Amino acid sequence: MSTTQSVSQDSVMARLKLETRPAHDRIESVPFSMMMQEGRLPQARFAGQLACWLAVHGTLEAGVRESDDEACTAVWIESMARTSHLRNDLACHGDMDMPPAAATATLKTIGWIATLAVTDPRALLGCLYVLEGSKLGGTILRKCLDDAYNCGPEALSYYWASGASPMPDFKAFKERMEAALTTDDDRDRVVAAASGLFDHLTDVLDGLLCGLDTSGADTEPTPEGVCPFGHG
């Protein structure tokens, strides 16, 4: 039996993990992500990424928080918000370098989220999954970033928003998602939105790479749960 067949179609979280896996592998292995993990990303470009993420989080968090949709109300809790962490960190990393291609890709992303907030707010929960799940890989990245910029966790609060381990928060998020998304139609729309956000964010990271020397960036995806550089 293939892996796809063994996943219950009734579990939105199992479907999200499985069906967005190729998109996750792509975003994890684009040269920008590899340079971040290898400690080769100029700090100003890291600050540029924080600014892009701030625009995306701000639009998505407002969309879910302000929605009257029952599922959004059931899943959202205020402690998931990370815009204040991003603002804090942005102020800690000096000058920001934002190539026009990254700004354009970010604007496209927030336009896409804003449209979804109007046409299908429940689907925003797929986008929320992408950002909430990114805390898992963040435990690897925060060590790599701290080593690269010697900045301490207070300048990486975005990556520490759930404390030492994001697992308890992620488990509770999973339970709220499973309880709130009970039809195949809901689950289909949420999974499609998650894939859509992964693709948009991958374009943002490609834009952030403009003008950087990417030679030597190893583009093999990291095995699950393992930092190839010995961190974490």
What is the contact surface with ligand HEM in residues (CB under 6 A)? 16-17, 24, 27-28, 33, 36, 129-131, 133-134, 136-137, 140-141, 201, 222, 224-225
- Nearest distance in Å: CB 68, ligand HEM: 26
- If phi over 0 gives left and psi between -120 and 50 gives alpha, with beta otherwise, what is residue 123? alpha
Q: Which lies closer to ligand HEM via its Cβ, residue 50 or residue 201?
A: 201
- Angstrom distance (rounded) from CA 232 to CA 228: 10
Q: Which lies closer to ligand HEM via its Cβ, residue 70 or residue 220?
A: 220
Q: Which lies closer to ligand HEM via its Cβ, residue 191 or residue 201?
A: 201
For residue 17, the number of C-alpha atoms closer than 13 Å in the C-beta half-sphere is 15
Find, among 157, 171, 167, the residue nearest to 83 by Cα: 157
**Is residue 74 within 8 Å of 176, Cβ to Cβ?**
yes
- Nearest distance in Å: CB 231, ligand HEM: 10
- If phi over 0 gives left and psi between -120 and 50 gives alpha, with beta otherwise, what is residue 94? left
- Nearest distance in Å: CB 14, ligand HEM: 8
Q: Which lies closer to ligand HEM via its Cβ, residue 11 or residue 88?
A: 11
User: Which single residue brings its beta carbon nearest to ligand HEM?
Assistant: 133
- Nearest distance in Å: CB 53, ligand HEM: 8
- CA–CA distances in Å: residue 21 to residues 13, 15, 16: 12, 10, 8
